[in-house]
Structure 1
């Protein structure tokens, strides 16, 4: 009687997700594995679970090479010790692999995106006998690996997405060092998706094109008042004031960004035209300012959180004059259309180590919240391919300034940024992540949004 195949999901859940108490009891009663047993278990396990068509080769600690499905390979994953694989075989897989990389359990040479695509290529099904062997090998490797030190992460206090905790989360990510961000961002320090009309633009050219694209979508006019929520290092505020003659209030929760942005405003001679403040998005009108003609929010909504999204859009709607426009530019969750299994991609790694408390909503949910706040959705554009290009430039710049970045951040934090940028490029390219620019209108008393009948002016 032949055993029926068991899906890859159930197999890895059973093999890597063994109960902690049961596993500990079994480990305590067994002798330590020999080096020969560890190597054999590793080879069996890798030979079973690694997709044949993967774009990278894997190198064991003893130099043994497991070739991939592409020649030459786009990357090499190198296990630095015989404990590495046991530390990586935990669920959720994205968190376990990310933490193992931060600790230095393995290296990636070449295209990190080739390794990030492992979950896409995983389509295995296993017999009951193969599953039993996998479970034994995983137990042996985990017993040999022992406890692994936890990488350093953010320590946030207070209720999630409260004002104080949001400030802590922003400080963790953005107040790393202005000099560090200067190593790999463009000259304007625009930390969001650039716009590549031809695909041949430099990063500086593409970021300037993005800023102008936003200004044209908002139909900025001389003398209007623009509110820039999450103004970063001031790139959009300065550009809009210089090129479109608007008055700008920019708000941020990052003291490091605010310091640098104010210096840039002063250097541009725009102190009477651009005002930047340390202020929460919930307080955009707290100081009695009049309403704004236009609002931009570029790469900020990801920090708001699902439960606060209604508050976010209500605050923006209240700050906008009737007939005004808002441009909401945000990364979205594309997993609904992607092939990455949800049980593999928990998202915990990014939320734990990169953007604490960050939440990526699918575009339909974001627009639902905007509509419920009475905004009228006028235009939606997905620029994910542009973000893949952007992140590619950032990752290349970081590699070019590797030694300076290591000196600024230390090894573990540098490795965090390296794997984050390298993986994001792949996720945007394949649609696991999206980038939507949504143009929202607050119609006036006559229900007019004051927009042209076509989008031709955006491309003139």
Structure 2
């Protein structure tokens, strides 16, 4: 048997399923189905990563550092792998999850001796997040946000559309460009919030200001943006000044719980938006989040929350999205099933008026980001380094597939704070904002 055939056999035994990929080892040997996506092990360090950290995180570390690569379309390879896992789990619910048994240890030790795989633990990629402190304390939340969003404004300008919208677009027409879909999403949010000149909008988790700037410029509202990222705050203020709307835009570098110092009075705000920020709040803190929104809104004020979710069928999956996402992309993120989010919003006293599922829109959005990354690969590497660029390549491919296969979803939720007498000031039909 060759190195490739021995390694493939051991991997299939550990995972409990046949792998739909072809493996090429560092010595040129190959094993696996002809015509399948080829997984290339460039050097033995890839195997050492897996010996020290079996499973998804070990594979991710090997890929990020370039010890392991994919020939062909990365998304196709991941899609084939998930299809094999689903088929195997019909007979064995634990298939696809590493199960290390004594026989596996014995085989691994034999392979390690034969191919000189024994060695020190490989260096952990610098792109991994290392957080300390209490979960969702202000300091830890700041570090988590900084890890991802303070990467480089120039890098995000390379990947995102000109609006700098880092969330699912609204691809109402299949032929729409990324920019058209993102602009349509921003307009949809503004219509759902019934924004009019002179209103005060609070944009919690404003990012690079896509909604903040759009609402201020196109709808004439005053906007208080909220972020924990210094780079994002400075970026939004600069763009607002360039567009001549600096007097209507104020981005506050603070936690959503502490907005009184940003001119946000209790019961005074006309509208609140939170676009794919609620996932970062944490499960235990989500009641505090929804209660704060209720407190800020005036009677009749609306909130629009666009938020990712974990599928009800994703039992046993980690709410943060798995080891790779939690380690490299969004540490401390917590996604919950949609029904749980609705319970928490309603529990704060807000009346839910509309829920729009947008799951199918996310793969189309991610395709645009991935195309931008690949088209500008050399520039991306120069901005953030090859490790981080490879993190993003893997992140976009895996994230798109999770939405495509209904392991993750995204929804726009519209709710209102009724008056003490129960008056909502809401239209009797949602068609007004879907036009």
TM-score (norm 1): 0.83
Any idea what SS the aligned residue of 1:328 has?
strand
Q: Return the alpha-carbon distance in structure 1 between the equivalents of residues 219 and 258 of structure 2.
A: 26
SS in 1 for 2:333: coil
* Partner of residue 346, structure 2: 371
| Between 284-293 and 250-259, the greater mean CA deviation after superposition | 284-293
Corresponding residue number in structure 1 for 2:84: 121
**Alignment pair present for 1:149 and 2:123:** yes
Q: Which moved more, 1:450-459 or 1:318-327?
A: 450-459
Secondary structure of the residue aligned to 2:250 is strand
Gaps of 5+ in 1: 1-35
Tell whether the 8 Å contact from 1:296 to 1:327 is kept in structure 2 after alignment.
yes
Task: Report the alpha carbon displacement of residue 272 of structure 1 after superposing the two structures with TM.
Answer: 1.5
CA distance in 2 between counterparts of 1:197 and 1:149 reads 45
- The alignment partner of 2:162 has SS state of coil
Alpha-carbon deviations, 1:427-458, whole Å to 9, x = none?
Answer: 11111111111111111122122222222112
The partner residue of 2:209 within 225, 230, 234 is 234
Separation of aligned partners in 1, 2:175 and 2:299: 39
Contact 1:41 1:137 in 2 (8 A): no
Over residues 86-120 of structure 1, what are the superposed CA-to-partner deviations in whole Å (9 max), with x where a residue is unaligned?
Answer: 53367662222212212322112333223333244
- Match of 1:326? 303
Change (3 A) 1:307 1:149: same
> Given the alignment of the two structures, is residue 211 of structure 1 paired with residue 186 of structure 2, yes or no?
yes
Write out per-residue CA displacement over residues 40-86 of structure 1, whole angstroms, 9 at most, x where no aligned residue.
521432565686683x54322233344548x5x4x432111245345
* Equivalent residues of 1:87, 1:145 under 8 A apart: no
SS class of match (1:327): strand
RMSD (Å), alpha carbons: 2.6
Q: Are residues 1:337 and 2:307 paired?
A: no
Equivalence for 2:64: 102
8 Å CA contact 2:203, 2:212 repeated in 1: yes
Distance 1:459 1:342, change over 3 A: closer
Query: 1:46 and 1:307 mapped to 2: Cα distance?
Result: 38
**One of 20, 25, 29 as aligned partner of 1:64:** 29
Distance 1:149 1:91, change over 3 A: closer
The SS at the match of 1:349 is helix
Within 1, Cα distance between the matches of 2:54 and 2:196? 49
SS at 1:307 equivalent: coil
Deviations 1:249-300 (A, max 9, x none): 1111100011111111011100111222212111123445332110000111
Residues 395 and 418 of structure 1 are in contact (CA less than 8 Å); yes or no, is this contact kept in structure 2? yes
Q: Does 1:298 align with 2:275?
A: yes
Quick one: structure 1 residues 155 and 430, their matched pair in 2 at CA, closer, same or farther if it must change by over 3 Å?
same
The structure with the largest alpha-carbon Rg is 1
**Alpha-carbon contact 1:94-1:346 (below 8 Å) kept:** no
Separation in 1 of the partners of 2:183 and 2:54?
Answer: 39
* Structure 2 length-normalised TM: 0.88
Note the C-alpha offset of 1:210.
0.6
Aligned partners of 1:419 and 1:440: how far apart in 2? Answer: 35
Q: CA deviation at 1:218?
A: 1.4
C-alpha distance in 2, partners of 1:282/1:274? 20
Q: Residue in 1 aligned with 2:418?
A: 443
363-372 vs 179-188, which deviates more? 363-372
Q: 1:316 aligns with which of 281, 290, 293?
A: 293
Corresponding position of 2:9: 44
**Alignment check: 8 A CA contact 2:4 2:30 kept:** no
3-state secondary structure, aligned to 2:360: helix
Distance of 1:443 and 1:346 partners within structure 2: 35
Are 1:244 and 2:207 matched, yes or no? no
Shift in alpha-carbon separation, 1:406–1:231, aligned structure 2, 3 A: same
Aligned length: 415
Q: How does 1:172-187 map to 2 (within 5 A)?
A: 172-187=147-162
Q: Is the 8 A contact 1:180 1:405 kept in 2?
A: yes
Inter-CA distance 196–151: structure 2 relative to 1 (3 Å threshold): same
In 1, Cα distance between equivalents of 2:215 and 2:5: 62
Following the alignment from structure 2 to structure 1, what is the Cα–Cα distance between the partners of residues 293 and 394? 34
- Per the TM alignment, residue 165 of structure 1 is displaced from its structure 2 partner at its CA by 1.2
